[in-house]
Chains A and B, each alone.
Chain A
């Protein structure tokens, strides 16, 4: 057992080194120093308290999305529509805010309702993909992708249409809410401890749901072998729907955090691609919840650190995406190579 874990670790370190090697070659090919690039990314993310706070701001939605995806992956579903579920969470949160803003209710209550609204919004969007899958036979990848585009269009429609700023509508989004309606932030830092807390609760709940409950066990049974689970009497399609709803609610919470704790309004790119990035994190950790926190933190760090690249080195900030992608790719390939060798032995 110990030897097996050691070999697995060696493969993963190998994948990590290879990924950094390939990205270093890409950097050299455009005449940039890999060392400078990595150093700038590190100091740009973990170099100061202020920057680390920015990393945490990115970490919150990423962790929530990853937590949600662990539920759908467990039941064998490729919920690529998670990106749209984040967007719908943000839209629903904004809607609740707009509804209650002048109601005179205490701000804390309105914030709570707005976040819950976001979770419901994300869950509804996920349920749509689920219904298409379960009752319409539409693969969740294709249905989800279509719904992602629709969600983005809906955001833009709202910003330029019914929810536009008085006067002229613009890409800068809807009118920001007054400060007392956003989740309280730490003094001088942009991170809200409440948002951080909610995201950690999200992953802990998912961990125990999957590891320690009958529900999680059945969910995994459906994912491992749909037909066998059905024959054993597990209500399979219901469990598929449950996992969509759980994932959608968490993705919706991620969207709610983007509105309630970061932007205080709806903007066109409200999801910032965290849905797709969450899929990458989930693949990299091989769907094990314990690793979600460190890997999501690492990926968030890469995203924030890469913002320094255009400023300091005239490189495009998409390098973080390249590094994340190459890393996941090599980890997947390493898993394949390892399986191939262990089968031969």
Chain B
């Protein structure tokens, strides 16, 4: 393989991770506020189908992207209403929506199956696109990929470098304290869930109008993306930078699977496609295991030097969820 094909392949990895990044950022905002949006897998499919249908019928790609975001926002609003106002299980409502939206996308998308439609074109950035190596990697993408790059840093800066971001951390960690400080906890949860939902929705058209243009129903290969994004959110420890890293790692592994296909002929391609999942379970284990009681006991029994090293390692890996994740807030 030449250096050129590897570079183009890696640039493809950055582009193909874009939808997952939107989904991870959206879920991160939602969960930071304390609401798990488990509907993601269905939302992305429905937004992909809806975004494609709108862009196809209006011949306007921008409207397609907006439609995808609107769909994501509406689904998230249902999750927010059921969990914040009605105090029902977020997991139950989210899971039902994940399945329902998926089936709804197949049902409503039937007439659009395999229809050729509009697709976002690559816009090489003048001057920058000609830089060796970096030009191919970063500056010859379509608009939505550029937006994904920027969104990662915006989300990170919002959460960790602004006052409202600090408040957001508060309503996910200690809602009672944030309330005393004057935050309208439930309203903020509504806002972040819906905004996060719109970001998750953006992942749909990012597939159907860009990376995997078109709508292919059950064989579009999008079923499962939402569940992956959910795992990456946790892997990312509710931090946009770490989450984006997870999304790129996942896209890289999938690309590696494709590249290695001719070498590993006896392994069916479907197996390589899921190769990241055992890895995902392993990383979930690594980020969580530091909190387990038996680990703490085992560590305590170890000699000083080994204990220090191990506990430092576990602490670096650890990612604790927002303390009030999934817990309804009551004023009294």
Contact = CB atoms under 8 A, between A and B. Distances in A.
A325 B82 contact: no
A328 B103 CA distance: 14
A42 to B, nearest CB: 18
Contacts of B284: 132, 136, 138, 142-143, 146
A145 B268 contact: no
Contact of A322 (B92, B104, B294): B104
Given A136-B285, A137-B288, A316 B88 contact: no
A142 B230 contact: yes
B146 interface: no
A336 B103 contact: no
B277 A153 contact: yes
A97 B289 CA distance: 38
B87 A135 contact: no
A280 B108 contact: no
B224 A149 contact: yes
A137 B217 CA distance: 36
A319 interface: yes
21 contacts: A30-B110, A135-B292, A136-B289, A138-B285, A141-B91, A145-B231, A146-B280, A146-B281, A150-B281, A153-B275, A156-B270, A157-B267, A157-B268, A160-B270, A322-B104, A324-B99, A325-B104, A329-B93, A329-B96, A333-B88, A340-B87
A153 B270 contact: yes
A172 interface: no
B227 A332 contact: no
B2 interface: no
A332 B277 contact: no
Contacts, number: 143
A139 to B, nearest CB: 8
A220 to B, nearest CB: 17
A80 interface: yes
Interface in A148-174: 149-150, 152-153, 156-157, 160-161
A30 B49 CA distance: 15
B102 interface: yes
B266 interface: yes
A340 B86 contact: yes
Interface residues of A, number: 48
B230 A325 contact: no
Of the listed residues A29, A78, A136, A337, the one surrounded by the most CB atoms of chain B closer than 10 A to its CB is A136
A279 B95 contact: yes
A321 B103 contact: yes
A26 interface: yes
A96 interface: no
B268 A138 contact: no
Contacts of B99: 276, 280, 321, 324-325
Given A146-B231, A150-B277, A333-B86, A132 B268 contact: no
B100 A321 contact: yes
A315 B88 contact: no
A136 to B, nearest CB: 5
A5 interface: no
Contacts of A209: none
B255 to A, nearest CB: 17
**Nearest 7 CB-CB pairings of A with B:** A336-B86, A325-B100, A321-B103, A137-B288, A318-B106, A153-B274, A160-B268
A182 to B, nearest CB: 27
A113 interface: no
A283 interface: yes
Nearest to B101: A325
B96 A337 contact: no
A315 B278 contact: no
B291 to A, nearest CB: 5
Contacts of B217: 316
B271 interface: yes
Interface string B259-295: 0000000111011011101101100110011011010
B281 A153 contact: no
Given A276-B99, A325-B104, 18 more contacts: A26-B104, A26-B108, A29-B108, A135-B289, A138-B281, A143-B281, A153-B273, A157-B270, A318-B104, A319-B103, A321-B99, A321-B103, A322-B100, A325-B96, A325-B101, A332-B93, A337-B86, A340-B87
A137 B287 CA distance: 9
B292 A283 contact: no
B266 A161 contact: yes
A143 B285 CA distance: 9
Nearest to B36: A141
- Choose among A139, A153, A160, A320 the residue with the greatest number of B CB atoms under 10 Å from its CB: A153
Nearest to B233: A142
A326 interface: yes
Contacts of A316: 106-107, 109-110, 217
Interface string A331-343: 0110111011000
A146 B277 CA distance: 6
A30 B108 CA distance: 7
